[in-house]
Amino acid sequence: MTIKAGDRIPDTTFIKAGDAGPEPVAAADFFKGRRVALFAVPGAFTPTCSARHLPGFVERAEELKAKGIDEIACTSVNDAFVLGAWRRANDAEAVTMLADGNGEFARAAGLEMDGSAYGMGTRSQRYAMIVDDGVVEQIHVDQPGEFSVSSADHLLERL
């Protein structure tokens, strides 16, 4: 079943792509006591993710924070090294990269997708959510092949 507003974030472990290297981070700890804008992409360095999704959150980071967001985070079924390189390649220091390399978070949240037709295997759907102290406040999941409701612009309109 897909996670929805009012649900608690699944208790999985991300690998944070930090400057000091990969760091395990329990989801419960990461989201505790703050309001986080979390967005997910099917894959780092893929066309829509790199050209539109990530840049939107980088460009609108200050506006999101002005509306009560404490942190902006991105997750993908990629490893921490790939997400760290993607962050650096896009000057995306405003975004915390949370690797879900094995797809555990995507699966537990009911937000996985089959990208096998594109040689990508199981990945995360494209979405954005607001998480307040570990509880989903709002979630916006794009239809397959689309990019609209998971954008920073759409999220800002809903805050």
Number of domains in the chain: 1
Q: Answer whether residue 44 is part of any domain.
A: yes
Domain with 22 in it: what CATH number? 3.40.30.10
pLDDT over 90 (residue 71)? yes
Residue 90 has what pLDDT?
93
Considering the chain, what percentage of its residues have pLDDT values greater than 90? 75
Q: What is the 3-state secondary structure (H, E, C) of 49-84?
A: HHHHHHHHHHHCHHHHHHCCCCEEEEEECCCHHHHH
pLDDT over 80 (residue 117)? no
CB 6 within 8 A of CB 135: yes
Residue 145 has what pLDDT?
83
Q: Answer whether residue 107 is part of any domain.
A: yes
Say whether 121 sits in a helix, a strand or coil: coil
pLDDT over 80 (residue 60)? yes
pLDDT over 80 (residue 32)? yes
Cα 27 to Cα 109, 115, 146, 154, distances in angstroms: 12, 25, 27, 24
Q: Answer whether residue 148 is part of any domain.
A: no
Q: Answer whether residue 159 is part of any domain.
A: no
Residues 110, 93: Cα–Cα separation, whole Å: 28
pLDDT in tens, 14-27: 999 777 879 999 99
Q: Answer whether residue 6 is part of any domain.
A: no
Which residues are the active-site residues? Answer: 49
Q: Answer whether residue 56 is part of any domain.
A: yes
pLDDT over 80 (residue 119)? no
Domain of residue 84, residue span: 15-126
Considering the chain, what percentage of its residues have pLDDT values greater than 70? 98
Q: Answer whether residue 156 is part of any domain.
A: no
Rg (CA), the chain: 14
Q: Answer whether residue 50 is part of any domain.
A: yes
